[in-house]
Amino acid sequence: MKIIVIGAGAWGTALAVNAARNPVGHQVVLWARDGAQAQAMHQTRENARYLRGIPLPRELHVRGGDVASLLQAVPQAELLIVATPVAGLRTTLELLQDVTMPVGWLCKGFEPPQSAAAPGQPAPAGLMPHEIQRQVAPGLHAGALSGPSFAQEVARGQPTALVAASRHRHVRQALVEAFHGPTLRVYGNDDLVGVEVGGAVKNVLAIATGLADGLNLGLNARAALITRGLAEMARLGLALGGRQESFMGLSGLGDLVLTATGDLSRNRRVGLLLAEGKTLDEAVQSLGHVAEGVYSARTVLQRARQLGVEMPITECVVALLDGQLKPVEAVAALMGRDPKGELL
């Protein structure tokens, strides 16, 4: 299969490396927006900016530069993978809106709102990736590749399982064919909404879990936050049209456990740093990479409120990020809530 991965960050590079190593013999191009970065990667056979120490296989071709060069290469591909952050998905899909081959995206989260609120009107909410696609490229046959995965481990060939989500069967099949291999299992799922909600909300919940760990609240507290966080995720996902079983799968429970407990998790790291007394700006700057939960938390809460969905952990994370609560106050707010039934 001829595959183009658009975006040479850590995750795009890791999946391009994995596909190029696949014994079926895919032809893989990794396209970087920064022409100088592409040239450096081609010469050194390494993405020193995002995946230092991971050699690029000789089968992986690195290209980059202006958009015209990308558009010239697109017609030769059988599958396009958009590996930009969610903030860059809209402009990329606008470029690809007329293509006929399957398109998959890797980003998780909500897009920043596109416009300011009109006087007297509520602030606009950010959109999930499939909602962006429905707006700017409704004719695309597209979907998401998601699930519990750190880029470094995928690039090193450590065992990983992902989920290919799309309403279109042939899109799911293309994603499975491209990436399923000796070290990477890919499962299909037609619940695109549920998969995307899981991928977005788990980042917010990981901040809360990092905070609890940073405050040394113990393993009981961590287990409680993950379990009740999963309930929040499912409530929002069902209200948005997802299916319950998706939240018990790879993009729900699986990704939540990884992001909330893994030492490579940037969102968990934000919580740990806030517990140390760092400001939000200090925490974000120390990461060097995007922590999507910081940018998604407010939109998650906004969408929940619009739908009448209760998300107390998310509310505390937003209040913490906005400086309305201190770490110990956020914990006290959660523990001080009135008792209720577990399944509510």
> Exactly one of 202, 278, 326, 340 is catalytic; which is it?
202
Other beta carbons within 10 angstroms of residue 125's beta carbon come to 18
Cross-strand partners of 145: 164
Helix spans in 187-265 (H): 192-214, 219-240, 255-261
Structure tokens at 285: 């700057």
In terms of DSSP bridges, do strands 103-105 and 79-82 run parallel, antiparallel, or are they unpaired?
A: parallel
Distance of CA 32 to the CA centre of its chain: 19
> Percent helix, strand, coil in the chain (nearest 5)?
55, 15, 35
CA angle 170, 174, 179 (to 5 degrees): 150
Is residue 2 annotated as part of the catalytic site, yes or no? Answer: no
99 three-state secondary structure: coil
185's CB contacts (< 8 A; 6+ apart) are 159, 160, 161, 162
DSSP state of 253: I
Closest to 97 in 3D by CA, of 80, 121, 122: 80
Computed from CA positions of residues 32, 35, 41, 42, in that sequence, does the dihedral angle turn out positive or negative? positive
Catalytic residue list: 202
